[in-house]
Structure 1
Amino acid sequence: MPDDDELKTAAARALACLDLTNLDDDCTAEDVRALCDRALTPHGPVAAVCVWPRFVSVARAALGGSGVRIATVVAFPGGDDDTGAVMQLTQQAVTEGADEIDMVIPYKALLEGHPQLVTSAVARTRDAAGGAQVKAILETGVLGDAELIRQAAELAVEGGADFLKTSTGKVPINATPEAARVMLEVIAQADHPVGLKPAGGVKTTQDAAAYLALCDEVMGADWARPAVFRIGASSVLTALLATLNGEEPADVGEGY
């Protein structure tokens, strides 16, 4: 168990790597503006906000010039949207100010024995994204088996993914250290720089610290930084700020 100083160090590292997220079905433009306000904390800005495509321009207007990146989602959450529609949505999001595209791979096709569809979907989204980064969401909680997670990660890397992301946050099992370890092992062997984004279920400073420690173990102590490591969460920000302020964290409810 980390001591208080170690937790504060982990909280500062995690906050700088946080993708502060609102992908609630009933999210409004006002909710996004409030999210953007939260992104600029007394302890520094988070790495990015992640919002629905329809709110990219709202987030860009709120955060322009702040250095906080704008992420959005496509083929979300099922991974089986029409590829042409996904490419069009990706292009539109980038035009409206998205820096990063979090796409769900066609994991159901992988489960049905069509692995080539994963690589082609990532590659086409990569093409549509232009200069924006692409995070491939594997939905590891549905894939379940470590070898399937490894295969999905390798296929996404082959397609040109800039990040591997565990989950949508919309299924019963989301990020787990076990899945993250498999993904980091693939990242360590990749032929181009690839980042990791555990998402969903990261609720406490201890949760965040565990993922940072895993990155330190597998990739080296200087690896986990915003360019290659993100935590996809919303509720964890409250816990991180409490740790940095030397306060007891409030109880954390369910959610992304």
Structure 2
Amino acid sequence: MDDLSLKDVARRALGLVDLTNLNDDCTEADITTLTGRAVTPHGSVAAICIWPRFVAQGVRELAGTGVKVATVVNFPAGGTETSAVVAETRQAIADGADEIDLVMPYRAFMEGRKGFAEEQIIRVKEAIPAPAKLKVILETGEIKDPLLIHLASEIAIGAGADFIKTSTGKVPVNATLEAAEIMLTAIEEERRDHGRNVGFKPAGGIKTAEDAAAYLALADKIMGHNWVSATTFRFGASGLLDALIAELEGKTVHAGEGY
């Protein structure tokens, strides 16, 4: 890919980033640093994605910017205490969260408890009033089996997910193009069969403009060239933004470590 087209990718991708800090040692000062990076000379990211305890701070610091505040629930383990997850969700919404990234109870799902996983997603969705959005994290690197990844995508979509997301970024295998293809195919099937548009979010390990280009090309191939926008596609990343800005400014950067 030549420099011009990578620059075009960077321009396209910057507004699709969910700028993320889900480090275990994250502090209020780190959140202020994150919110300060969310609006760049080249445009704003789509959202920040942070721990629930920082939502009110993020909302306050991003007021008037148009940048959404996303947070995570049932994260990262994808446990099975649905009532606790619903309570966590309600508190995040009360604190001002625009988007909830829910870890599907993927271990229960893999053990054959598909109805349990579905019910948890349904109950969390019920706790999220419009226009707030629900993204469901499948943890595809743990599910592994392509047929099960497709089934998990179908279950999450059927239970009301506004987006389906690959990964928490906290396991050995996170976003992959193979999982993305399966998930985007399920999204296309939902659009074809029911006319409903569900979004897609690859997360974990996406660090360069070249990485972003590969996922965007896959989405264009499966969903069509006019489908990708911040309402349908996000990158969950911490280091990607710096790489995109460097590309736009003609600089070289080593993409940051992390989510």
Q: Same fold (TM over 0.5)?
A: yes
CA offsets, 1:114-141, max 9 Å, x none? Answer: 1111211111110011221000000000
Residue 124 of structure 2: aligned partner: 125
Question: Which residue of the partner structure matches residue 258 of structure 2?
Answer: 255
Tell me the residue number matched to 2:43: 44
Asked if residue 238 in structure 1 is aligned to residue 242 in structure 2, the reply is yes
What amino acid does structure 1 have at the position aligned with 2:84? A
2:164 is the counterpart of 1:164:
yes
Matched, 1:141 2:149: no
How far is the alpha carbon of 1:187 from its aligned partner?
A: 0.2
- Could you tell me which runs of 5 or more consecutive residues in structure 2 were left unpaired when the two chains were aligned: none
Quote the offset at 1:71 in angstroms. 0.1
**Pairwise CA distance, 1:201:** 0.5
Q: Distance in 2 between matches of 1:199 and 1:49?
A: 13
- Residue 252 of structure 1 deviates from its aligned partner by 2.8
Corresponding residue for residue 70 of structure 1? 69
Please give the secondary structure, in 1, of the residue aligned with 2:172.
coil
Secondary structure of the 1:5 match is: helix
User: Which residue of structure 1 aligns with residue 95 of structure 2?
Assistant: 96
* 2:127 alignment partner, SS class: helix
Distance 1:246 1:240 in 2: 10
Whether 1:105 and 2:109 are equivalent positions in the alignment is no
CA offset at residue 181 of structure 1?
Answer: 0.5
How does the TM-score come out when normalised to structure 2?
0.96
Which consecutive aligned stretches of 4+ in structure 1 deviate over 3 angstroms post-superposition?
none
TM-score by length of 1: 0.98
| Deviation for aligned residue 1:18 | 0.2
Contact 2:238 2:256 in 1 (8 A): no
Partner of residue 229 from structure 2, selected from 206, 225, 229: 225
Cα offset for 1:219? 0.3
- RMSD between aligned residues: 0.8
Shift in Å, 1:254: 3.1
Query: What secondary structure sits across from 1:113 in the alignment?
Result: coil
Q: 5+ residue gaps in structure 1?
A: none
Shift of 1:253: 4.6
Q: Which residue of 1 aligns with 2:22?
A: 23
How many residue pairs were aligned? 254
Distance of 1:43 and 1:146 partners within structure 2:
38
User: Contact 2:240–2:256 at 8 Å: present in 1 too?
Assistant: no
Deviation of residue 81 (structure 1)?
Answer: 4.4
Identity of aligned residues (%): 53
